[in-house]
Structures are given as C-alpha cells and as structure tokens.
Chains A and B, each alone.
Chain A
Amino acid sequence: MSGQRDGRRDIFLVANSVDELGGVTSWTHQMARLFTERGHRVHVIGIATPEDPHDLGDLPYPTTRLYDGQPPAPGRARDASMRDRAARLTRIFGAARPGAVVVVTQVWAMEWVRLADTRGLTVVGMSHESYETAKASSRFRRVLKYYADVDRMLVLTREDADLWIGEGLNNASFMPNAVPWLPDVPSPRTGKAVVSIGRLSDEKGVDMLLDTWAEVAPAHPDWTLRIYGSGEDEELLRKQCTALGLDDSVAWMGRTADVPAALREASVFALSSRGEGFPLALMEAMAMAVPCAAFDCAPGVHEIVADGEDGLLAPPGNTAELARKLDLLMSDKALRDRMGERARENVRRYGTAEIVDRWENLFAFLER
C-alpha cells in the first residue's frame, strides 16, 4: 500500500500544456526539476500543445503531449477524443509503481484525468489562483465539479482553502509556491527607483499604479518608477502616463529575463494588481531584500507579506493609501533597510527545500 521504501515515487504532473508561456507551466517545470533532484521519477503531461511552443531545452524527465494542437471544440468530437486520450493516460498511469501520485495543476486538465483509470494512485488537484479570482470565472463551477472527488484539492493559502471548504469542497487544503532562488547578495537599496514587474494587462493593475504614482511623485522629484513587462495594454498605459504628466518620472523597461538585476537597481517594489494568486514577483523582491508596497488583493499577498514588518499593504484599489505607503518607504531609508532585511529573512520559509518536504509529507499522509 505504501510507496517505495526509500520514499521515492512516480509523480505525474498533468498540466494544460507542457510548453506554453505562463505561471503555471513555469511552476510545473520548477517542481518537476525539484522532485527529480530528490530522486522521484517525474513525468510531465500536457493536454494541448500551443502553436508556438516555448523552448524548454533539455529536460531531465520525460514529457507527453496528449494533443498535437488544441483538442476539438466541445461536442461529440471532443468527447470521443477525450475518451481516447484518457485511455492513453490510463496506460501511462498503469505502468507506475505502487505509491504513484498524479498532480493535476489546472482544472481543465482534470477533465481528461477524471476519465482515466486512477485506481491505486493518489490524485491531487490544484487551483493556482485566489478563491476570489476563481469565483469570478467559469473555473469556479468546474473546480467544484471536477475536483469534488480527488484525494486532495490544493490551493495556495489556508485562507483560500477555507473558502473552498465553505463551498463544500471538503478535500481542500493548501500548498504555497516556492521562491525559485535566494540570492546571496541583496539589493543595496540605494537606487532612487520604485520597480514593478509583471505583464502589462488589466489584471496587473498598472493603470492604478500610474494613478498612485501621480499622487506620490510630486513629493519625490528625484525618484523614478521603472515598469518592467510587456503586454496587450502597453499602448493604453503609455497614453495614460502621458496624460497624467508622468513621462519624466516613469521608465518603460520592457520584458526582462534578469529579474535579480532589475531588483538590484530598485529600493522599493510596487504591486498594484486587481487579483493575484501567490505572487512570485513579490517573493523575488523580498528575496532580494527590496521592501514592497502592495495592494492586499488576495490571501496570497498577506500570506507572503507581514504588513508593517517586512512590507506595507494598502486596501485594494485605494490609490491614495498605496501612495501613502510608497511615500513612507521612499522617504525613510532606515525603514526600507529594516523591512528589506526582514523580508529577505522571512521569505526563506518558502525555500525550495521546505516546499518539497511539504509535498513529500503530503504524499505520505494521503497514503495513510
């Protein structure tokens, strides 16, 4: 009934896709790598394949794509193809050693997994977003339906899990994301720059960050807001920036592959999203000892940031308060240093070793 004596397992990570750009896919490969390093046999399975797949390089674990492109549109053809692909999943799962685990990273992928034979396997379903974000989308009903019978349904925080439990999902629990790196050298916090890193999309609320900056910038003429990222809203946002008369103090930095370098130039990190899950960018800023001012827009945010201790939080959408918090950090070097160092220390609880231990303990618990 239990896994291998040494605790090594077969782990299947089933995602919407193996090689699309995006947070959940990055998370999937991060965990695949970490599990592999612990000696587990990992297999990453994607349902669909995007038109321009992201180049993953050499992976130390096998991958499988159920469809070459997208599955047929919902209807009879989709149903038939799903049965066919589920049979393939059954074959893959059937070859696993006792104690194997299937981790479904998104509820869409679960629609295939639930048709496969998973007897004898532990099935974990995940929702990588806050309860509120899910609630506002069609995923809400699907999570309640397709994850009702998995062995464990995991969200990102205890608070989110409690909310799902309140909806009747009694198998819900939580597992935080891991911060991918903990650098040896923190940011010196001397550059007079506030930095924001994220896609330029409505969800990330850069429009609200510009409104905020319009309130705080006049008091700090020597400071710059550096906005990293690209996306569909870039043109709109640049127009708004000009209309607010902020062109002199806002720098559009584009996408960056070197997040630590971006953070090294900054002294304060700003997060102005409308919704979040368990924001990686926030953890990375903390890892670099850059204190944040953030909208408290999801349980994940106040789970990561201890308000007033290692960062400052403002009520979501309240740009006056976010401006006030930014102003506090920008005006007080000692406060920045104190909070930045605390942040660096506190974010260690999401280190990769800690998080992988938690996963292994969970697998063992679900076998009891």
Chain B
Amino acid sequence: MMFGVNVEQQPQSATAGPAVPAGPAVSVVVIVYNDEARLPTAVRSVLEQTLRGVEVVIVDDHSSDGSYEVAARLAALHPDRVRAYRLPENSGGCGAPRNEGIRRARGAYVLFLDSDDVLERNACRNMLEAAETTGADLVSGLCVRVHVDTRTKKEVKWYPWLYSRTRTLDSVSELPDLLVYDTLSTNKCYRRDFLVEGGLEFPVGIHYEDLFFSAQVYAAARRITLIPNRVYDWNVVERPGAESISNRRAEIANFAHRMEIHRRVDRLLADQGLAELKFAKDVKFLKHDLVLHLRDLPFRDASYRQEFAALANAYLASIDPAAYDEVEPIHAICAYLLRERDWDNLLPAVDTLTNRDKVSAPMAERDGRIYWCAEHIEEDPFARRILDVTELGYHARPVGKMFLRNELTEYSRPGRSGVVRLAGRVTNPLGVIPPGARLTAELEFYARRPGVRFRTFRVPVAAVRHEGPYVSWEATADIEKVLRPLGIVDAVWDVRLHLGVDGERTSTRLTAAEPGLATGQLPVRPRLTRLVADRVEPHISARGHLAFRLVPDKKANDLVVRGLRGTPGRLAKTGYRKAKALRKKATSGDTKIRLYHEAFLRLPPRRRLVVFESHLGRQYSDSPRAIYEEMRRQGLDFEAVWSYAGRPDGFPSDATLVRRWSLPYLRALARAEFWIDNQSYPLKLTKRPGTTYLQTWHGSALKRMGFDEPSWKLKSRAAQAEQQRTLDRFDRFLIRSEHDVRTLAKAFRLREKALLRVGYPRNDLLVQARGATERPPLAAELGIPADKKVLLYAPTFRQSGQKRFALPFDVERFAETFGDEYVLLVRAHYLNHVVLPPSVRGRVVDVSGHHDVTPLLALADALITDYSSVMFDYALLDRPMLFFTYDYDAYVHEGRGTYFDLMERAPGPVVRTEDELHAVLAGSSLEEQSVKYAAARERFTAAFGEYDKGTAARRIVDEFFSDWRRK
C-alpha cells in the first residue's frame, strides 16, 4: 500500500473562467530515487513554469535517503501544487513510479521528469498550446543533454533533425525515424485520457522501459505534434573509471534486457499493423544499437565476446537483409562478421568502425571487385553483397593516403629498466606495400597537448619486413631515455609508427587488439620535477591506441590538482587559452589581408614579375598555362610565380611556386607587374594600379553567370557594389565570341575596352589538332591500344552534398558493351571525385587527376558531356559530340537558368537516359555521327568560338610582353 500527503485535497477552481477546464492543465510526474539533493531543483523547474496551471506529482521509489522527506516538505510548502507519494518497496526502475504518477495525476496532460533533470520554463505552455491547437494525443519537443561537469556546460541536442520544425503527424508511420530514434519518454506531453483509456503503462522489472513505452505511445497516438522548442534538460554526469568485473556482468545483463525490449517492440509493431516500421528499426539497430556494443569488443575478453555474440545473433536473425543496404558499408560488414562469429576479421573491422578513416582489412580482389576479406564470398552471395567495398575506392589510393591498421603483437619489459620491446604488424591491403619495396620505419612518441606544437621523440625500428599478408616490425625503446615529460603538463604521450614504402611515408597508430597486452609501470625522468611523477604506464585510448600516461604520485598529485583548480592554475589555464587564441588570430585571413595592404603593397613594384594561377591554385592548366608556356617558348626575360593550393606536384619546375594565401604568395601579388588567372585572385586583395590583371576566364557560358545569377541579383546594392569592385580589377578579359560579350561581359558589367577578342590560349592546341591524323603521345601514357577509339566523358560540376559524385550510368555495363571498341576516359569536375571498379581496368580510365583537360580533349575521338563548357572548346576539333542530360529539367529550372536552350542548339544527339546513350553509341558509328551533325557543329563553332584561331597565346605575348624578348 502506498501513502501520500494531500491526497484528498482538490485544487480550487472557482476563479477560473468558463473556457478553462477544472483542475490543472498539466501534471508533471517527478520520480525520485535516492536523490534528495537534486529533487528540489527539478520541482522548482516545474513550479516556475510560465504556464501557471501545472501541478507536481512526486513519486519516490522507496529511497533509502531523505528523498521522500524532501518531497513531503515540498508538498507541505506548496499544498495546492505539489503532492508526494512513496512506493511501498523499491522497484529498481523508472517504470513503476511513473505508472503510479499517471494514476495520481489530475491534469488533462501528463509529463515525466526525473529528479536529476529540469524542464525548460516554457515547456508546459508550449506543449499545451501545441496539444490544444492540433488535438494531438502526444506532443514531443527537443531534449538537450547538458554535460554539467564540463567547463562550458557542453550541450548536445538529442536527435535535433527530428525537431527542426513544428509538424503534426496523423500516424508515426509518416516519420518512422521518430519511433526509431527518439525513444525517450521524458521530452513528451501525453493526453492523460489517452494513456488511461489505452492502458498505456511502462513495463516493470526490465531496463530500457522507455524504449517500449515510447514505441507503445507512438503506435497508439492518433495524432502526434513535434515542436522545435527545447523542453527538457537531461543533465549528464560523466562517471569515469567504471571498469570492473561486476560491471561486465551488468553490461551483459543490460544487453540481454535491450534485446528483450527490442523483441517486445517488434511484437507490438506487428500487433498494431505497423510492421513496416520494423525495417526502419532494423536499420537503426545495425548502425546504432549494435555499434555501441561492438566498439567495446576490443577491450573485452573472449568469454564476454562469446556471450555478446550469442545474444546479438539471436536478434540479428530477425533483421531484414535489405536493411544492410541502408547502412554504411562498415556497419553492415561488422554485423555480418559478428553473425558469422568471424573474430579474426571482425576485430579489425571494429577498428575501422571506431576510426573511420582506418584501413584495417587485407581486402581481396575477385572478378574486378574489391572485397573486405577473402573469406565468405565464395560460398555466400549475401556475403558478396555486404563485403563488396569497391565503391569506397581503397584500390585507387596510394599508400601515403592510407591510415593503416598496425596491430601491436608484443609488449614486454625484459629488465627492470625503462626498456620495452614492441612488435606489431601492419595491414597490407591489396598488396599496396609491394613485396620488393624498400621499407623503413621509426616510432614516434609525442605529447598530447592540443594547440601547441608537440614535443616528439623518435626511436628507430630495428626490423621491418613482409610477413605473409602483413608487414611486421620490432623495436626496442628505452622509455626512460626518450620520454621526457615537462612535469605535469605532458600527462599523456601518444605513439605512432611511420612506415616508409619506397620513400613514400604512411603513419600508423599502435592498436592493442587484446585486453591486458600492455601493462606495468615504467620509470621516466620528467624535465621539471620528479615531485609529481616519475613513472609512466601504458594506456589504451578509447580509440584502441597505445599511449603512455604519467602515474601521479598520490600525495604530490593532490597538491598539484589543488594548484590547477585554484587561482594560479586558473590563471595559467586562461593564459594558455589566450595565447592559443592570439596565435589563431595572428595566422588568420584578416591579419594576412592587412599585412598585404599595409606592408606588401608599400614595397616597390617588381618589373617583369608575373603571377599565374589556374582554378584558385588547384591546377597547372588552362589559358594561364598556355600563356606561360608560350612565354617560355619564346624565351622571354621575366620572373614567373605559380600559385598552387594543396600540393605543388605537377607544377612547373622552372617557376617559383608559392602556396595560395601564403605570405610569399601575397608578397608576389602585391609587387607583380602582371596577374594572370582564369577565375579570381582573393576577392579582398586590391590591385596596385601599376599591375595589369589579365583575366583569361575558363569557359564560355551556358548557365547564367555573375549578375545574371539569382544569388548575385539578390544581393543588396551595397553588396553588389562590393562585388563589382572585385570585377573591376580585371584590366583585360579574354573573349572567344560575341556570345561571351552578350553573356559574361554583360554579367560581370565589364567595360568595352577591357574586352580582348583573341580567343583562348588554351584552345590554340585544339585548333591545331583539328584534322590531325596522328594520336598524341598521351594515348600511349594512358595505355590506350591503337585499335580502340577514345571517348571522353566530362560532365559538369554537381552539388552532391557530402556524398561522392556517382556516375549516372553503370560503368561496368558500359565497359562490357563497348569495351571492345572504345576506351572511355572519365573526367570528373575538379571539385567532384569518382571511383571506378577494377573490373573496368583498361577499358575505363579515370583522368580526373590530370591537371589540364585540353590534351584529353585533343586525344578524344568523341566527347560525351552534359552542360559543361568543354562543349564549346571541343567543338573546335570538329569531332562528334554527345549530350547526356539526364537531369535537364532540374538543372535548367531549379538551378540558375541558362543563356540558351541546349536542346535547340546542341551539335550532336541529346539523350536523357542510360539506355538512350547505349542506343546512340550502338546505333551508329562515330563517322556516321560526324557526318550527320557536321552542319550543326559548324554553326555551333561559328557562334561560340569565332575568335579561336589557334594564335591566342602568341597574340597575347605580342600585345603585352613583346618588350621582354631577349635582344
């Protein structure tokens, strides 16, 4: 039996108007167990709600501390607003007290609040308004997890994408993610009659009661309203150091409960005719629920792993195989390997799950596809599907761009000194480290000190060699000698192994695959004081990597901690943060721009200094390159500076190379006599009046540009004027045809005298190649057989969000169908990236990495494009063109619009689908295509390339640089 206070007291409602129902509008059920200190705060957050008609129902789960007494006192203090109840015995969960709360509530609506959390002040008002306006049985709002013990009280929103806007659902099946992800019961407001009449209660005697309760109410609700308002603060306290055997037992028991709740929810959905929600739930299980536990596996022993697998696999058997296709490949791979209990492959896969960019599996190539591992795929078609990782493009990455798994196989301490022996093996996926490669290796220890250039110590690796599918290594490190921490500051030291493969370097971290491999304290000699610590111990980070941390001397450490928390420590820490902020500011763009204007522009100009740039420094290409090479060919006397972004590979060795935005770059721009680029130098840099800016531009326009683009038109007058100032820097602007004058020149509002009607220097090569019968040497470089024709596929840039640009046709089918006749070159826009499967090797070639597209155009016997401006250039060759405009309507109407209708003027067939593309290529030879569209091509070239005569570079040199010829 339970007893309460104020049980019989009814709130008086004599003053309420006729429209307001009797009794409180909302009851908030606050449950408490042994939390006397925080309970008053939770209750206060209800009493201070902006909605006045709120009552508090406290239910104590038979606490052994003073929680109930605190609750009773609160009830006595607010007799008409707070009531307190106590369960006759402890229930051990949240279900029983909340169920009791529902029975005791008098409000038309009910909310749940835990004693350690708080409600946002407007929560009840906002939820009540939503419920009454929409008539919803259930209103749900945003929950925020507040990490109360962090310095900044870090806040993390709970599945915020579900709560980005107000919306009302007539059934949860309209938004399965709601049921699947937001399984909390506390950020919600329930119509009390809806709960009572539907008999909707929390399960008792099992963990994860919220999962079941929320699924139940979602399924039963006839209307659900979601509001973006923050309603509930979930206060999170980190509890470090909970690593014990009894916890392991509890962990397995919890997991068993979780699986049981999942089964109950699945049954409920089936009973309610919502079986289709099970699929969304399966997807979440694979990418979320399972992952939480998988990540712990490297830290657990074999018996735990077996128990875990038994529980998980029993449930995995009920998962729809199609769900595997909806998750990231690594999620599906881990679930599959767990099902197979293939521990040898699973544990490395979990490493990739935890460290996403890590390559942890040896991989295998079969029939032109890449698989995660060689096992399973022969016998199991499902495995073939799941383990196929061709799309991830591992096979196209050089070793230097791979973060390889390096498994620590030995950690031992031969004597009592600080010497440790380490050995390990590095994964060698697809033999990326070839058997004959020259191998070098060294270990590096570095202090984990964010923001400050870390101290590093290096140790040579004694042996490194191929060993079966791995590269193994052994090293001996005297930790006492190499590791010299700065007293308390450098508390944690990370370790990595640099591996040199024929001179290319790749860095790895040491992963301890088994728990308990690395233990035991080692002596060190701190550089400042031994008072605080003179020993280190190995430590495995949350990501599974070996590190060393100082073992603090307990007594001294207390002093130090007190110091760190006290005034001196606080001052030191804020000083450090300020220094960090200052450094960030000193290297910021604003500072550099100021330096450019206030220092570099005051330096004397440098005659004959020319700064070149193509596509914001990404390439050595296009007209700037053509002009540069013509200047070199003529042997002009000048000083050349090329700008590069990222890496300088492929840029000319006979020019000074400067990284874009570096100080040498800014200094060169400030002093140069000429700027030559095809897109734009940094907008914020003003040009010295003595500098001539030759803007070559990078293509004639099909889609609207500049002030013809909606986003430019929308700018305010002031912003447009600002934009115009950057365009007015162009002293000369290259023009290929009067179409450019009507489009680009108008769109950039250029003065007539800036226009230079000479054509594009980059296209000189194309005009010269027109009618050429011999193949350029590039064909041999790319390994194209003489009997194959070359097709170039060069689509325009597409915004594809975070996702990789996907080819709009099946490249394997293409190679299968046309591989005997053609080699297809694929050129993705320089901002997009494409992956080809090994199966098409030799038949389809990715040429996206080539700096310059022009030689590729000259090589291709025909071009396939969509809206890319290469169409205007390629037309100069008078070879067949094909337009694959699979997304024409969206591109034209939803995008920024076009200057003319491509359908009307395309000098070649326009196809919309992959099948049409195949039909055109299969239906007629390139020669037939060429003849059929000869007249159209001629018109096209006349309209868009009238000034491209093959002499542009020469004419530009004549006009601007003739004085620089060596006499």
Residues of A with Cβ closer than 8 Å to B? 1-2, 5, 151, 158-159, 161-162, 165-166, 168, 170-171, 173, 202, 208, 211, 274, 315-321, 364-365, 367-368
Are A318 and B710 in contact, with the CB atoms below 8 A? yes
CA distance A207 to B25 in the complex (A): 53
Interchain residue pairs with CB less than 8 A apart (10): A1-B15, A1-B52, A161-B166, A165-B230, A170-B126, A317-B710, A319-B710, A320-B704, A321-B897, A368-B52
Residue from A2, A151, A316 within 8 A of B710 (CB atoms) = A316
A164 — nearest CB in chain B belongs to which residue?
B228
Q: A267 to chain B: closest CB distance in Å?
A: 24
CB contact under 8 A between A2 and B15, given known A162-B166, A368-B20: yes
State whether B165 touches A159 (Cβ < 8 A).
Answer: yes
Contact B230 A170 (CB under 8 A): yes
Chain B 85-96 per-residue mask, 1 if CB under 8 angstroms from chain A, else 0: 000000000000
Confirm or deny: B17 has a beta carbon within 8 angstroms of a beta carbon on chain A: yes
B504 to chain A, nearest CB (A): 47
A367 cross-chain contacts in B, Cβ below 8 A: 52
Q: Choose one: A168, A173, A208, A315; the contact of B230 (CB below 8 Å).
A: A168
Query: Does chain A have a CB within 8 A of B129?
Result: yes
Q: A173–B132 Cα gap in the complex (Å)?
A: 14
Q: How many residues of B contact A (CB 8 A)?
A: 36
Judge whether A316 and B230 touch: CB under 8 Å: no
Query: Are A318's CB and B716's CB within 8 A?
Result: no
Which of B51, B122, B717 interacts with A202 by CB under 8 Å? Answer: B717
Tell me the complex Cα distance, A319–B711, Å. Answer: 11
CA–CA, A159 to B167, complex, Å?
10
Quick check: B716 and A368 within 8 Å, CB to CB? no
Quick check: A368 and B893 within 8 Å, CB to CB? no
Give Cα A140–Cα B228 distance, bound, in whole angstroms: 19
Chain B residues, Cβ within 8 Å of A5? 17
Does B34 belong to the interface (CB within 8 Å)? no
Interface residue? B318 (CB, 8 A): no
Residues 693-716 of chain B: 1 if any A CB is under 8 Å from the residue's CB, otherwise 0?
000000000001000011111101
Contact A165 B713 (CB under 8 A): no
Is there contact, CB below 8 Å, between B122 and A365? Answer: no
Among B24-73, those with CB < 8 Å from A are: 25, 50-53
Residues of A within 8 A of B126 (CB): 170
B711 near A317 (CB under 8 angstroms)? Answer: yes
Additional A-B contacts beyond A202-B717, A364-B19 (20; CB < 8 A): A2-B16, A5-B17, A151-B50, A159-B165, A162-B228, A165-B229, A166-B164, A170-B126, A170-B230, A173-B129, A211-B713, A316-B710, A317-B709, A317-B711, A318-B710, A319-B713, A321-B893, A364-B17, A365-B129, A368-B52
Contact (Cβ within 8 A) A158 B166: yes
Q: Which residues of B does A touch, CB under 8 Å?
A: 15-17, 19-20, 25, 50-53, 120-122, 126, 128-129, 164-166, 227-230, 704, 709-714, 716-717, 893-894, 896-897
| CB nearest to A314 among chain B residues | B710
The 10 closest A-B pairs by CB, nearest first: A317-B710, A317-B714, A320-B897, A318-B710, A317-B713, A162-B165, A170-B122, A165-B228, A202-B717, A162-B228
Q: Which residues of A contact B230 (CB under 8 A)?
A: 165, 168, 170
B713–A208 contact, CB under 8 A? yes
- Whole-angstrom CA separation of A365 from B613 in the bound complex: 64
Docked pose: A351 CA to B230 CA in angstroms: 33
A162–B120 Cα distance when bound, in Å, is 16
A361 (CB) vs chain B CBs: closest residue: B19
Closest to A316 in B: B714
Measured between alpha carbons, how far is A319 from B899 in the docked complex, in Å? 12
* Nearest CB on A from B932, distance (A): 31
CA distance A5 to B19 in the complex (A): 11
B122 pairs with A171, CB closer than 8 A: yes
Query: Chain B CB within 10 Å — which of A2, A162, A367 has the most?
Result: A162
Q: How far is the CA of A2 from the CA of B710 in the complex (A)?
A: 52
Q: Which residues of A contact B710 (CB under 8 A)?
A: 315-319
* Residues on the B chain within 8 Å of A173, using CB: 129
Query: Once the chains are docked, how many angstroms separate the CA of A49 from the CA of B15?
Result: 42
* CA of A318 to CA of B129, assembled, Å: 38
With the chains together, A274 CA to B122 CA distance in Å? 34
User: Which A residues are CB-close (under 8 A) to B129?
Assistant: 173, 365
* Cα(A365)–Cα(B126), bound, Å: 11
Is B713 in contact with A166, judged by CB distance below 8 angstroms?
Answer: no
Complex formed: what's the CA distance from A158 to B717 in Å? 30
CA A290 to CA B445, docked complex, whole Å: 75
Report yes or no: B711 in contact with A170, Cβ–Cβ below 8 A: no
A318 touches B897 (CB 8 A): yes
Given the interface contacts A170-B230, A318-B896, A318-B897, does A274 sit within 8 Å of B716 by beta carbon? yes
Contact (A368, B53) CB under 8 Å given A162-B164, A165-B229? yes
- With most chain B CB atoms within 10 A of its CB, the pick from A5, A166, A171, A321 is A166
Across-interface contacts of A168 in B (CB, < 8 A): 230
A62 shortest CB reach to chain B, Å: 28
Question: Could you tell me the distance between the alpha carbons of A171 and B121 in the complex, rounded to whole angstroms?
Answer: 9
Residues of A within 8 A of B166 (CB): 158, 161-162
What's the least CB distance linking A275 to chain B, in Å? 9
Which interface residue of A162, A317, A318, A367 has the most chain B CB atoms within 10 A?
Answer: A318
Q: Which chain B residue has the least Cβ–Cβ distance from A208?
A: B713
* Cα-based distance from A159 to B897 in the complex (angstroms): 28
How close is B422's CB to chain A, nearest CB, in angstroms? 50
Best-buried of B15, B120, B709, B713 by chain A (most CB within 10 Å): B713
Contact check, B120 vs A368: say whether CB atoms are below 8 A apart: no
User: Nearest residue in A to B54 (C-beta to C-beta)?
Assistant: A368
Rounded to whole angstroms, the CA-CA distance of A202 and B229 in the bound complex is 35
- Shortest CB–CB separation between residue B865 and chain A, in angstroms? 22
Q: Inside 8 A of B712's CB, which chain A residues have their CB?
A: 317
How far, in whole Å, are A322 and B120 apart by their CA atoms in the complex?
44
Instruction: State A364–B230 Cα separation when bound (angstroms).
Output: 24
Residues from chain A with a CB closer than 8 A to the CB of B229 are 165, 170
List of A residues within 8 angstroms of B897 by Cβ: 318, 320-321
What residue of chain A has the Cβ atom nearest to residue B704's Cβ?
A320
Q: Taking CB as reference atom, which chain B residue is nearest A297?
A: B714
Closest A residue to B718 using CB positions: A202
Closest approach, in angstroms, between the C-beta of B121 and any C-beta of chain A?
Answer: 8
Alpha-carbon distance A126/B898, docked complex (angstroms)? 41
Give complex CA distance A5, B18 in Å. 10
Within the assembled complex, what's the spacing in Å between the Cα atoms of A162 and B714?
24
B893: chain A residues within 8 A (beta carbon): 321
Task: Name the distance in Å between A249's Cβ and chain B's nearest Cβ.
Answer: 21
